[in-house]
Structure 1
Amino acid sequence: MSESSAVRLRRPTYGSPQPAVPFPIIGPHTRERTRAVLEQLAALTGFRVAALSIVRTGQDLIQMTEVVGAELSQSDKEQTWIPLSRWLRDGVEREQWGIWIFRPSSSQHPDDCRYDWHIEPSPSGGDWDPAHALACELRDTDGNLRGALHLDAPVDGRVPPPEARAQLDAVGRMAVQSMMSIIEAEDARQRAEMAVGARQIAETAPAAPAHEHSTAIRQALMSTFGLDEITVYWFHPNTASLLPRPAPAPEARSAAIRSWRQGTALVVPPQSPGGASVLHLPIGDDTTCYGMLVLERRTHPAPWSPAEIAGAVTIGRDLGRQLTEREIRRRLHREVEDLRAEVNNRAQIAASVAHDLASPLHAIRNYIDLLDHPSVTGEEQRRSLLDALRNGTAQAAELAAQLSLLAEERAPRDAPITDLAPLLQETLDLHGPAAESKDQVLSATIVEPTLVALAGLDLSRILTNLTGNALKYTPPGGSVEVLVTHLGGEAVITWRDTGVGIAPNQLPRVFEEFYRAPDSYTQAQPGTGLGLPIVKRLVENAHGQVQVRSQLGVGTTVEVRLPLADPASTDPASAPATSTRSWRIPTTG
């Protein structure tokens, strides 16, 4: 019987089996170097068995990954995991032999965590108990526990005497240095692979959406980590356009955000023998966590190494930065488009102002030239030209006043109380002749008293603008009705006309400065396109509302709501007596 067959793992289990490989993504060269160090350690210390255990990062367990001098199949390795917290406090009694820790069998409970070998008796006999344990820790330069070296089954069957322990310590220190250089070299190799994968993904991300449907990113993740499945979960508002959008469990979302804040990823151990090895990877930059990737290994469920976790975190950060840059680009694009629209709008306003000012100014210049012409000698001709000059000047002055009113910024103040009825009467008197000249019926009905919280001049502008608009865009023989009622503490002023109406696609633009519908009827009417914008400004300054409803070829309804100066007057129990007053300017036909 060979020495290797004389030593077998007898009681390796603690809990459910866990997958084990010598190193995650280990190369043949690394495996050979690991076995060479273990063989030298066993030969120079006089032990038949030397083994290496590796700490599985994020899983709180330590697991044997390589052994010499004993039978240990892959299935045996899958059963050699021990909870790290239990392993660190294993046994009470211990002896420190330099860097080695000796735990005699007398200090261990039958249920303690340890590797228990079946060792056939040495030919020379001896006092080594198979339940004894001898191990030394492997720690990196930061003091992190990375694994342990184990010795068992002395060739002579005896516990090493004190005089032999110096040699044991010296050989052990050399073995620790050699093994740590192998582990660090393997880490460096894995980090290099992760860096290549992360760079590939980072370079791919700007050219494609940063989610799993990006084929290039998906393939890069698959090849870098040896994955079988990738699932993505988004839970930030800025990712609403990314698909698919499965909803993560609340606890998974909270865990992902915690991992993102800690700058790491969450390792999920296999839930059953041979189960998938899973990594929950948060996606986010330094300020925002957008979601998480669930990376799964099923075919080869190797545990996640520190290098893989660090590389995955880098990738998650890179993808997060790409999403942030994408959002910044989108926001800048919107701002540029808004600015471009504003510039175009201002250019249109400038062109409209120039056009509307040009007409009266051009007429004024012509009238002035005529006044100086020798053919104009009669007093009646001069008076006619002077009247035309006054009209042209009034048109220019009115346009200037409208522009000034539109640009005016009014500070909030207590609004004066204005009686609407007399101003409505003045409006009818002003527009009555124009209505009669076009055979139009202009009528008004008002509930009195109607006292509104608005300055008289502003209220007069509202009434004049909307009444004039209704008459202007109503063909001869049509009608315009003005109705004033009370509703919920507001005065509701409604204009109904039987005019040409407004097309549905033009209706949203009626409150834009200088906008005029492109149809021939509208373009043939005089105007600046400032009436409705001024009305909207005045109404909103008074904390009111204005709405326009229209049907092409049928007519238009404009409704203005203004706060009543005495809202309690709408309560029949406390309000003074009201009356309804009507005016009607009939057609001349």
Structure 2
Amino acid sequence: MDEVTERQHGPGRLRLDESTREHLEVLAEGAAALAEFSLAAISIRDADELEVVAAYGPGVSEAIVGRRLPVALLEAELAHSDEWGPWRFVPHDRETPEIAEYGYVSDDVVVDSPNAWHPRDLLAAPLLDDDGELVGVLSVDVPLDGLRPGKLQRELLEKCAVVTRRAALVALERMELAEQVRLAQQTRDIIRKALGEPTLALVLEASRSAIARCFDAFGMWLTTFDAQGGTSTSWYAEGAETDPLLDEVESGAALLAQRCWAEQRVAAFSRAQPDAVGLPPDEFDQLMRYLERMGIGSVLLVPLGAGTECLGFLSLTRISASQRWTDVELDAALDIGHDLGIAVANARQVDQLRRIDSYRTELVNTLAHELRNPLFTVAANLEMLEDSELEPFDQKMVTSASRGVARLSSVLEDLLTMARVADPHAVLEAEPVNLLEVLAIVEEECGSVAATKEVDFVVHPPSEPFLVSGSPDELVRMVCNLSGNAVKYTDAGGRVDVRLTRAGDEVVVAVQDTGIGISEDDQRQLFQEFFRSTNPDALERPGTGLGLAIVERIARRHSGRVELSSRAGEGTTVSVTLPLV
């Protein structure tokens, strides 16, 4: 049987779900039985090739399923065939040397008859869609009687071809639908991973191998544009150890990406598809020669963007120029271009916010340090004046100025602490910290202030030590800020309790007070820098609005989280949960 297949090169490329493949195998078996032949095979078109996807007959399936044959070669062979209705018969003596290399020859013995079937005879029925395009081929071999079909058998063959064509078209629709579902699921997974990453490098790391696998691509490169007009490129190919130099083609690809984004399309091109790029012939030839030196035969260029702005492009590559990019893949690729564009835009904004945050931290540090020296000078001179013999009114003014300097010093200390714990570049030099020791320091620092205000300050130390990994100074500052706030907003006769409790592999530091409480509206903004409560009673008590913001940043630096529960007039509980060592 001169089967419409290619030489054996391993498994085929067409993706068929098990149900569709079984359906086609049943069709092949039914075609053989209906036409009274021993062997049958069904091939489906994939771009410029046909792939055998189902076969029936002893040992045939293992031998030929997955083989591929160029469509042009089959069409040339059928050009000098005999027409038997929808079938084409090529006797063995008309066989061309080119097709002979692709055939499957049965071992069945030829019967002794002038009308005997020859092992190299070809009988195939092209399967056409409603537009007359070739979508597949049904072929049969080895008639049960060993003879070439007569009139009656040809009628059976014609019915067989009609039934098989209809069933094959249904199978192709199922195959395309299954491919759409597969791509939709995989692209959702890819974008979910990409959108969850805060930096462009992590976006690429999370998505590049999955994208290549999703589109059956040999490799890919992704180029993004920055706000200053520069580019950043990442290359990925399975097993590749070094990145190729893409400078020769990147500028042309960037212009093409801009055009594709404006037209909302992708560009799939190869030597056989020069028009898809829209480049002048000499530029296209230069581009293809460069890609071919890298072993690339086909490229799918996908623009990335958000809104009207093109933010870069994704180039998917295949080694074979004959493996066509399907319409389903083109649609899915454009969707990925939109979603990855959003991921790139998000990463760019996060990066910009980081730069702004770093600049702000540097600015606060500089200002605080510059203010420290003159403030120290003022404080020193005020101390000297306080020790002098002054008139009562002058003494009152000096005392008031000293309180102002002390408050300003506190603000500067908070600013410096906030700048340090909020700095994304500041490395946490962690060590094991016993929280019992932290509570002892907090009790000493905050207990005396609470006593002055006639507030009961009670620390409940646990019976066992709790070790966390972090900075002792920062953890002391965190619990002191919580305790100091609780004391500040609790009136005389009230109570503040500090507790440590275990929760699985975590420890909870809870500070509970019976103070003035916090309204629901204020609770939503409490951890913002410089926020002060709208409660007039709270505003009368001095503060910088940085205390809880510092607590939240320190907790985050220690892989912890902060929770707050409060009701106006009924007190507040703030809890920090940290992982135990």
Shorter-chain TM-score range? 0.3 to 0.5
Give TM-score scaled by structure 1 length.
0.43
- Look at both structures and tell me which one has the larger radius of gyration over its CA atoms: 1
Give TM-score scaled by structure 2 length.
0.44
